Amino acid sequence: PCNLTGWWENELGSKMQVFKVGNDGTFSGEYHTAVSSAEKPIQPSPLIGSQHLDEDGQCTFGFTVNWKKFSDSTAVFVGQCFNGDDDKEVLHTSWLLREKVDLEPDDWKATR
């Protein structure tokens, strides 16, 4: 079965550490992004999430990252863990990033 606990790295060099997955599927950790448009220096950011525990081990999951240490934005990720051909676990995710805007008319450009 897929175990989210530990370090993960994506193709852009961002890293995520999941500290521990509870019996109910909840987890927390830190996200170390390698990319940012913020003016402040990048810092590790807290994440919290939940995984669907499944018998075949290829679980779905979701988590939120609060970039509050260096940005006024929040990101959500959803994905699934797969056991690859070489038995190496691989995560496939999609994400949305919400940046703060000062005025409601600018809402259209706040989510990517």
pLDDT tens string 20-35: 999 899 999 999 998 8
Class of the domain covering 6-109: mainly beta
Q: Which residues pair with 54 in a beta bridge?
A: none
Tokens linked to 106: 């600018």
> pTM for this one?
0.87
Domain boundaries, the chain: 6-109
Tokens linked to 98: 């919400």
Give pLDDT, residue 3.
Answer: 85
Length of the chain, in residues: 112
Give pLDDT, residue 12.
Answer: 92
Q: What mean pLDDT is reported for the chain?
A: 90
pLDDT tens string 65-90: 999 888 889 999 999 998 877 878 89
